[in-house]
Amino acid sequence: MSEYRILKRPLLTPVTLFFGVLAVIGLILLAKRFIFGLGSVTNLNDGYPWGIWVVYDIMIGTAFACGGYALALTVYIFNRGQYHPLVRPALLASLFGYGLGGLSAVIDMGRYWNAWQIINPWQQNFNAVMLEVALCITAYVTILIIEFLPAVLERFKLETWRRRLDRVLFIFIAIGVVLPTMHQSSLGSLLILFGQKVHPLWQAVEFLPLLALVSAVTMGFAIVIFEASLVSLKLTREPETHLFAGLGRIARWLLVAFLAFRFIDLTRRDAWGYAFDGSFEAFMFWAETALFILPVILLFRESRPVHSPGMGRGPILFLSGVCVLLAGALYRINGVLVGFNPGPGFHYFPSVEELLVTLGVIAMEVVGYLLVIKLFPVLPKPHPEIDHGKSAATSQAPAAQA
Amino acid sequence: MKRRDFLKMAGSGAIIATSAGEVSARGNRPVSEEAVGMLFDATRCIGCRACVVRCKELNGMPPVTSEGAGMWDEAQELDARTLNIIKAYKGEDTQGQPEFSFIKRNCMHCVDPGCVSACPVSAMTKDPKTGIVDHHPDICMGCRNCVVACPYNIPKYEYNDAFGQIQKCRLCNQKGLERIDQGLLPGCAEVCPTGANIYGKRKDLLEEAKRRLSLKPGDEYHYPLNHLDSPFTAPAKVGEYQTHIFGEKEGGGTQVLLLAGVPFEKLGLPDLPERSYASMSETVQHTIYKGMFAPMTLLAGLLYVARRNTQDKTPDELD
């Protein structure tokens, strides 16, 4: 028996329809971008050549897509088999996150028809951080597809192929851990070359790859908690708190590590003064830091045998997950946009159309995710320790449809 | 794998990476003997903008006009049609006295350029001999990492074109123009009437800049016109210089050097460390990826652990 099941729900629901409409709006605006140029949709300019499409769709989007990476580390490397039921949903979210991140990169390219040069060995520049990022993300999308294949083979009952794949799957699992380690750290290294344009609170130079990597892994754990909470709340009504409480315990130590590296870096570069100069950047730094510290407090309280009454474990974990995701997102926005100053005379704030494209990309992920979990065995089977009679009854209720 | 084993493995990986770093840490790139460039002396510039016009003419760039105005160029800033510009600065000095200066802005042709380091497909190149930073739109994929990585915001992308490209000053030596190769001068140096902007080898220009700084204000000096070895000079009284040659050391040095009578930050030039950002970035990158040793070690370890952790499971426990 597989640990996974197909969610028996109608494919078309008001939720999918809503996100479907958002996705279509995004696609229409993308058509405009390709016909009239990047300037017709975005507020990009000579001082701010990278906007929300790069920062959200690629930098934040792929960090949000680190769930598969975080779980592969936990389950296959640290051998914590109990989290195995969460692997497939996380892999699926990673696949969408990375796939659309790669697609966003092409959309943002001013000369996308030359994108193939990235694999042209006569042109590759191995000094360029961007080359490593581009190659690694492309390779990782392929690996994610292979890692997700068992769900497809299981669906079509191709048992022979399934067994063959299982024998070599460990190779892809191992590569699937190395690749995100490489490109998530490099996404941080990209900022070294921005030099003096990046505010001292975020220009960590040698520390950038480490900070980017640790925050991305933490965001990977947070997204698993976030998605599993949403799915169990809205779709299956079966709390999986017992599964992801342990992930919260891992995430809190990663958060502590991130904050430690962050503070060590600010101290070594003598940059603390900027955090107290009353500037907008200082305010954003504290907003970001507060979002990193809050889940640490929540997660350490949550794990105590008796925690404060009022809020259940599930909501605390969910809230912590949301905080971590916002913190990691803000850290990236701050480094690349808020704390990015190309000099006097330049301003950037994303245009409405630019934001709608980003929303459209997120909507595509949601629609895709909802469709695939209803077509392939992705979601974990109900946990045997939980009273099934009740949850099975609620999951049949039409009100629970999403 | 036990957590301790993993930490040991990760730790040794980190040690390998950092110790390899000491070997591979690279400093700024050296200046080529034959490197060419320009020296702009703001104290000599009269703001005639002949260089802006000549630049547009040679590079086939249309003028920037505002609505309802005549057919003259009104570019206020460098943009994808303006690769060279003269800007005016008006302000007060430290004593509250009014001060004024023109400044010429164009690609600085860095000795160790960030744009070249950033470009994943080598569409941005630095000539090994002349040191000219050139761009190849037929290779460029338009990621604009060069724009973000340029401390002077020089490369400009054409955002209002569905098939836009990156534009930048290529010292008039790009394919099809090749003025340097033909023994001609860059357009802006060719037309400068006062000797404010001259062309030459970087080492000679640096020597000339140092010579000017050693002159006494008020003395007469014969400023060479258009290029260093020019038979034509313009005699003039030496102005008050800031004792700083911009580009001698900034960000690893530039091949376009600047002299001025007012501090450079007031003229819109960034305050850069002597070590180039390209050398910092490449040192970090090559430390981590030296010979792909660290990633391969990590992969080998992970392969071993992942195989051990998956082999004793039934197919259903896997995926």
| Element housing B41 (H / E) | strand B36-41
Cα dist from A28 to A21, A32, A35, A353, B69, whole Å: 11, 7, 11, 10, 36
SS3 A4: strand
Between the alpha carbon of residue A174 and those of residues A170, B17, B149, B305, the distances in Å are 6, 20, 33, 8
> Is B119 found in the same domain as B10?
no
The more confident residue out of A193 and B66 is: A193
The closest of B201, B198, B200, B221 to B211, measured between CA atoms, is: B221
The answer to whether residue A121 neighbours chain B at the CB level (below 8 Å) is no
- Taking contacts as CB-CB distances below 8 angstroms, the residues of chain B near A5 are none
Mutation to test the B interface, candidates A92, A130, A203, most B Cβ within 10 Å: A130
Does A114 sit within 8 Å of B141, measured CB to CB? Answer: yes
Amino acid at A187: L
Are B82 and B146 within one domain? yes
Do B254 and B294 belong to one domain?
A: no
CB contact under 8 A, B315 and A111: no
CA B5 to chain centre: 46
- Distance to chain B for A14, nearest Cα, Å: 32
Among A39, A49, A171, the residue with its CB nearest the CB of B303 is A171
Separation of alpha carbons A388 and A373, rounded Å: 20
Q: Which residues have a Cβ under 8 Å from the Cβ of A313 and sit 6 or more positions away?
A: A241, A245, A302, A307
For the cut 80, the answer to whether the pLDDT of residue B293 exceeds it is yes
Sequence-ordered list of residues with C-beta below 8 angstroms from that of A52, at least 6 positions apart, any chain = A337, A350, A354, A355, A358
For residue A342, the chain B residues in CB contact (below 8 A) are: 153
Q: Distance, in angstroms, between B229 CA and closest chain A CA?
A: 36
With a CB cutoff of 8 Å and minimum separation 6, the contacts of B302 are: A77, A173, A174, A177, A178
Q: Does A341 touch chain B (CB under 8 A)?
A: no
List B199's β-bridge partners, or say none: B38, B227
Q: Do B139 and A192 touch (CB under 8 A)?
A: no
Task: Out of A109, A123, A131, name the one closest to residue B142 (CB).
Answer: A109
Considering only alpha carbons, which residue of chain B is nearest residue A150?
B319
Which chain A residues are within 8 Å of B157, Cβ to Cβ?
Answer: 38, 46, 49, 110
> A147: distance to nearest CA of chain B, Å?
7
User: For residue range A325-354, what is the model confidence (pLDDT) as tens digits?
Assistant: 999 999 999 999 999 999 988 999 999 999
In the DSSP assignment, the letter for residue A53 is I
The CATH number covering residue B107 comes to 3.30.70.20
Alpha carbon distance B292, A181 (integer Å) = 13
CA distance A185 to A390: 45
Contacts of B18 in chain A (CB under 8 A): none
A74 in contact with B, Cβ within 8 Å: no
- Summarize the confidence of residues B100-125 as an average pLDDT: 97
Strand partners, B85: B105
Q: What is the Cβ-side half-sphere exposure of residue A74, based on CA atoms within 13 angstroms?
A: 29
Which candidate from B121, B149, B302 shows the least CB-CB separation from A177?
B302
Residues B158 and B304 in one domain: no
A252 closest CA partner among A212, A299, A216: A299
Q: Angle at the Cα of A65 (from A384 to A123), degrees rounded to 5?
A: 145
Query: How many Å lie between the alpha carbon of A171 and the closest alpha carbon of chain B?
Result: 6
**Under an 8 A CB cutoff, do A127 and B77 touch?**
no
Partners of A84 on chain B (C-beta within 8 Å) are 317
The reply to whether B8 and B52 lie within a common domain is no
Query: In the structure encoding, which two tokens stand for residue A323, read together?
Result: 């905080």
Judge: B159–A190 Cβ closer than 8 Å, yes or no.
no
Quote the CA–CA distance of B154 and A49 in Å, as a whole number.
12
Q: How far apart are CA B138 and CA A383, in angstroms?
A: 57
Count of positions (residues) in chain B: 319
Strand partners, B41: B259
Look at B317 and A84 and tell me if their CB atoms are within 8 Å.
yes
Longest Cα separation, chain A: 65
- Note whether B20 and B93 are same-domain residues: no
Q: Which domain holds residue B270?
A: 36-275
Distance between CA atoms of residues A165 and B271, nearest Å: 56
Return the residue of B nearest to A2 by Cα.
B316
- Transcribe A202-246 into DSSP letters: T--GGGHHHHHHHHHHHHHHHHHHHHHHHHIIIII----HHHHHH
Residue B254 CB contacts under 8 Å (≥ 6 apart), including other chains: B37, B108, B109, B110, B111, B246, B247
The answer to whether residues B226 and B184 touch, using CB atoms and an 8 Å cutoff, is no
DSSP one-letter code for B29:
P
**Of B75, B113, B300, B109, which is closest to residue B186 (Cα–Cα)?**
B109
Distance CA B319, CA B316 (A): 8
pLDDT at A381: 82
- How high is the pLDDT of residue A305? 56
Rounded to the nearest angstrom, the gap between the alpha carbon of residue A291 and the centroid of all alpha carbons in its chain is 17
- For residues A344 and A243, give the distance between their C-alpha atoms in angstroms, rounded to a whole number: 51
- Contact flag B145-A163 (C-beta cutoff 8 Å): no
The pLDDT score that the predictor gives to residue A245 is 80
Statement to judge: residues B101 and B171 lie in one domain = yes
> Binning pLDDT at 50, 70 and 90, where does residue B290 land?
confident
Nearest Cα of chain B lies from the Cα of A320 at a distance, in angstroms, of 25
CA-CA distance, A111 to A131, in Å (whole number)?
Answer: 16
B318 with A150: Cβ contact below 8 A:
yes
**Chain A, 53-72: which have a CB under 8 Å from a chain B CB?**
none
Per-residue model confidence (pLDDT) at position B212: 96
| Mean pLDDT of all residues in B199-218 | 96
CA distance A398 to chain B (A): 31
Quote the tokens at residue B207.
Answer: 């020597």
- Collect all residues of chain A within an 8 Å Cβ-Cβ radius of residue B299: 174-175, 178
Lowest pLDDT segment from A291-295, B28-32, B69-73, B142-146? B69-73
The amino acid sitting at A172 is: F
Q: How far is CA A104 from the centre of its chain?
A: 14
Residue B254: Cβ within 10 Å count: 28
pLDDT of residue A227: 85
Segment B169-184 shows an average pLDDT of 96
Q: Does A173 touch chain B (CB under 8 A)?
A: yes
The count of domains in chain B is 2
The residue assigned the tokens 């809190």 is A252
**Contacts with B137 from chain A: Cβ below 8 Å:** 111
Q: Are residues B220 and B308 in the same domain?
A: no
Segments in chain A below pLDDT 70: 1-2, 234-240, 303-312, 383-402
Structure tokens at A117: 């040069």
Residue B21 and residue B80 in one domain: no
Q: Which of A163, A178, A342 sits opposite B302 (nearest CB)?
A: A178
Contact A391, A57 (CB under 8 A): no
Residues 6 or more apart from B183 whose CB is under 8 A from it?
none
Q: How does the average pLDDT of chain B come out, rounded?
A: 89
Cβ-defined contact of B306 to A76 (cutoff 8 Å) = yes
Q: In Å, how far is B54's CA from the nearest CA of chain A? A: 23
Q: Over the stretch B5-24, which tens digit does the pLDDT of each residue have?
A: 555 555 555 444 444 444 45
pLDDT at A396: 36
Among candidate residues A379, A377, A380, A368, the one with its CA nearest the CA of residue A153: A377
- Mark which of B275, B290, B309 sits at the end of a domain: B275
Q: Of the candidates B158, B168, B169, B152, which has an alpha carbon nearest to the alpha carbon of residue B114?
A: B152
Same domain as B161, residue B43: yes
Closest Cα to residue B101, out of B168, B47, B180?
B47
pLDDT digits (tens, 9 = 90+) for B113-167: 999 999 999 999 999 999 999 999 999 999 999 999 999 999 999 999 999 999 9
CB within 8 Å of chain B, chain A residues 245-304 = none
User: CA of B143, closest CA in chain A: separation in Å?
Assistant: 5
Dist CA B114 CA A340 (whole Å): 16
3-state secondary structure labels for all residues of B215-230: CCCCCEEEEECCECCC
SS3 B100: strand
Q: Of B3, B29, B141, B311, which to mutate for an interface test with A (greatest number of A Cβ within 10 Å)?
A: B141
Specify whether the CB–CB gap between A228 and B312 falls below 8 A: no
Instruction: Indicate if B18 and B105 belong to the same structural domain.
Output: no
Mark whether B189 and B290 lie in a shared domain: no
